[in-house]
Chain A
Amino acid sequence: GDSVTQTEGLVTLTKGLPVMLNCTYQTTYSPFLFWYVQHLNEAPKLLLKSSTDNKRTEHQGFYATLHKSSSSFHLQKSSVQLSDSALYFCALSDNSGTYQRFGTGTKLQVVP
């Protein structure tokens, strides 16, 4: 069945540095990938999404490119801010009509 893997549980970075959060997936169907962000004590909310192979998607300074050849949808930002500290979830949907499956999440901690 479908699955999503996020390899980093915690990423700690100094403000101003670039970040990449890893996301890989498995599905036998056509994939649709999402990144959700959850700030402390808040609801998860959509950051960006894509189903187009090799096209960069951007929102709020974050960007990701779906690569079907490597089954990846890594989230990147060129310069992290203190306000980016949050939990980031990668999620997978597909055209089989199933629900979105989530990875275990990566906590991003940005320090001064």
Chain B
Amino acid sequence: NAGVIQTPRHKVTGKGQEATLWCEPISGHSAVFWYRQTIVQGLEFLTYFRNQAPIDDSGMPKERFSAQMPNQSHSTLKIQSTQPQDSAVYLCASSLDQGWQNTLYFGAGTRLSVL
């Protein structure tokens, strides 16, 4: 089991450009989560899917962020018109299901740097 795979590991974009981040969850896991990690805020929830359906996107900045899960093997997080404040590590996690006691298995993250 390769664990949760995130690509790319590092991405550098210019201000105003688009960034797409990819996540491959652990096979058999039905819940996929996206978090953003910064030193100041720690781990901030962005959005999650259960069985590919979007369940809660309350943490997503509405105007420029979007997430999709077109099939059970991958999810994408897209940031349009990136801004310097978007610079962070974006973490994807999966769990067996969305149950409240389930462990999150994280990928190594994508470090986004907006210049």
Contact = CB atoms under 8 A, between A and B. Distances in A.
A14 interface: no
Contacts of A36: 104, 106
A104 B41 contact: yes
Contacts, number: 59
What is the predominant secondary structure among interface residues of chain A facing chain B? loop
Contact of B101 (A32, A42, A96): A32
B91 A44 contact: yes
A42 B48 contact: no
Interface in B58-84: none
A105 B42 contact: yes
Contacts of B104: 34, 36, 44, 46, 91, 100
Interface residues of A, number: 27
Interface in B73-115: 91, 98, 100-101, 103-109
Nearest to A1: B58
Indicate the size class of the contact surface on chain B: 20 to 34
21 contacts: A32-B100, A36-B106, A43-B3, A43-B108, A43-B109, A44-B91, A49-B101, A89-B43, A91-B104, A93-B101, A97-B100, A98-B100, A99-B33, A100-B45, A100-B104, A101-B45, A102-B35, A102-B45, A103-B42, A104-B41, A105-B42
